[in-house]
Amino acid sequence: MSVAAEKLSPVATPDLPSRVAELVRTDLAPHTVRVDREGWYPEPFMRKLGDLGAYRQHLASRNGAGQADFPGAIRAMEAVSRECMSTGFCVWCQDALAWYLDNADNPAVRSIMLPAVAEGRRLGGTGLSNAMKNLAAIEPLKVRLQRVDGGYIANGTLPWVSNLGERHAFAAVFELAGSGGRKVMAVVRCDQPGFSLQRCAEFTALEGSGTFACHFNDSFIPDSQVITTDVAGFIPRIRAGFVLLQMGMGLGLVQGCIDIMQSVRQTHGHVNRYLDEQPETLAEALADARAATYALAEEVHDSSDGYFADVLQLRHTGSELALRASQAAMLHSGARGYLADAPAQRKLRESYFVAIVTPAIKHIRKELERLGAT
C-alpha cells in the first residue's frame, strides 16, 4: 500500500438509503443462501457499497469537512442486515475501522489509510474484541509489541478477526513489552511481512464473514500505522460508536424477522394468531429501539460513563429483541422454517451472534455493574 496521504473525495448521498436497498436487492439477495451455506465472502457487494458512500456517513471527514451522519451509517447497515446479517456484520467491521481512523490521535495513519477504507477500496476489520474484553478484565491481550527504530515488532495470535482477506486491514490493541502495561493501538495490513491469516473452524452461522485467526511472527508495524499510544484515553472516545454501530445489525435482523412473519400470514395466519408474538407487537418494539438508537447516535462523541451506560443498555435491549424476533419468525414459519435455505432458521442462528458478539450480553451486564448502572 502506498504511504502517500490521500484526501476523501467529495460525495453527495441524499438518496443513499434507497440506493443501498436497491444494491441489496440486486447484488446481495441473490447470494444470501450462498453466503450462509457455502461461506462465500461477498467482497464484490462490499466494494460496491463503498462506492455508494455507505462507509463514510458517520465520519467527520466524510466530505473533507462537514457534519457526520451517524444515524445514516446505522440505517445503511440495517438495510444490509435485513437481508443478510452475516454481510451486515462485515459492514459493521468496515464502519468500525473507519471510525477508529477518523478519531486517530496520529494524523499520519488517518491521512494515509482512511480514504481507502472509507471508500471501500481497502476492506477491513475492527479487531478490538480482545481489547474490549481486556479492558473489562475478561481476558489478557494476545499480541505483544517490542519497540524498534521506526515502529514495533509484533508477536502473538488474535483468534478471530472478521471482514479480512489477503489485502485487507484491521485495527488491534497490543501490549508493549517492558512498559509496565502500556498499550498501543495500530492498523495491521494483512499483506505486511511476518503476518499471516489462518482459516478458523467451520461456523454454524456468519461463515461468509471473512473470519480468520491472525498470526504475528516478528511482524513490523511502522509508526505511520499507529492510531494511538494512549489507549486508555482513546477508548472512551470511540467505545460508544463501536457499540452503537452494532445496532444496525440487530435492527435490520428484527425487521427481517417481521418480514418473514408477514410473508406467511396469508397462508398460516389462521393458526399463527394463537402464538404469543405477533408482527405488530414486534414492530412497535422495533420502532422504539430505532428511535432510541438514532437519538443516542446524535450524541456519539459524548465520552462520559453515563452516556456509555445508556448505549450499553440499548445494546442489551437490541440483543434480547433479536432473540425474541428470530424465535417468533421460526414459530410462525413452522416446519418450512427447517428447510436448509429457509430464512427463518438462518435468522435464528444469526440472532445468537447479535447476543454473543463483543460486547456479549454477559459482557454488557458486567460493564453496567462496573458503571453502577444495573
Could you tell me what percent of the chain has a pLDDT over 70? 95
Residue 368: Cβ-neighbour burial (10 angstroms; 0-12, 13-18, 19+):
middle
Same domain flag for 162 and 35: no
Pick from 78, 103, 123: which residue ends a domain?
123
Q: Are residues 148 and 115 in the same domain?
A: no
DSSP 104-151: -S-HHHHHHHHHHHHTTSS-EE---HHHHHHHTTSS---EEEEEETTE
Q: Are 351 and 251 part of one and the same domain?
A: yes
Residue 196's CB is within 10 A of a number of other CB atoms, namely: 14
| Total count of domains within the chain | 3
Looking at the domain assignment, is residue 8 inside a domain? no
| Helix, strand, coil share of the chain (percent; to 5) | 55, 15, 30
Q: What are the tens digits of pLDDT across the range 62-119?
A: 644 457 899 999 999 999 999 999 999 999 999 999 999 999 999 999 999 999 999 9
Q: What is the pLDDT of residue 374?
A: 76
119-165 per-position pLDDT tens digit: 999 999 999 999 999 999 999 999 999 999 999 999 999 999 999 99
Whether 88 and 118 map to the same domain: the answer is: yes
Would you state the pLDDT for residue 1?
A: 38
How far apart, in whole angstroms, are the C-alpha atoms of residue 256 and residue 78?
10
116 and 141 part of one domain: no
The Cα-based distances of 263 to 259, 269, 344 in angstroms read 6, 10, 11
Q: Does residue 3 have a pLDDT over 50?
A: no
Residue 182 lies in a domain: yes
Q: Between 175 and 68, whose confidence is greater?
A: 175
Last residue of a domain, one of 230, 256, 277: 230
353 in the same domain as 257:
yes
pLDDT surpassing 90 at residue 38: yes
Whichever domain contains 363, its CATH number is: 1.20.140.10
260 & 362 share domain: yes
Q: Is residue 299 located within the same domain as residue 223?
A: no
Provide the CA 323 distance to its chain's centre, in angstroms: 18
For residues 268 and 336, membership in a common domain is answered with yes
Domain extent at residue 333 = 233-370
**DSSP annotation of 10:** P
- Assess whether 118 and 138 both reside in one domain: no
Q: Is 5 a domain residue?
A: no
* Residue 7 is assigned to a structural domain of this protein: no
Give yes or no: residues 119 and 166 share one domain: no
For the chain, give the mean pLDDT.
94
Tell me: do 256 and 364 sit in the same domain.
yes
Sequence-distant (6+) residues with CB within 8 A of 260 are 329, 332, 333, 343, 344, 347
Of 36 and 373, more confident:
36
- Give the end of a domain, one of 84, 107, 123: 123
DSSP state of 24: I
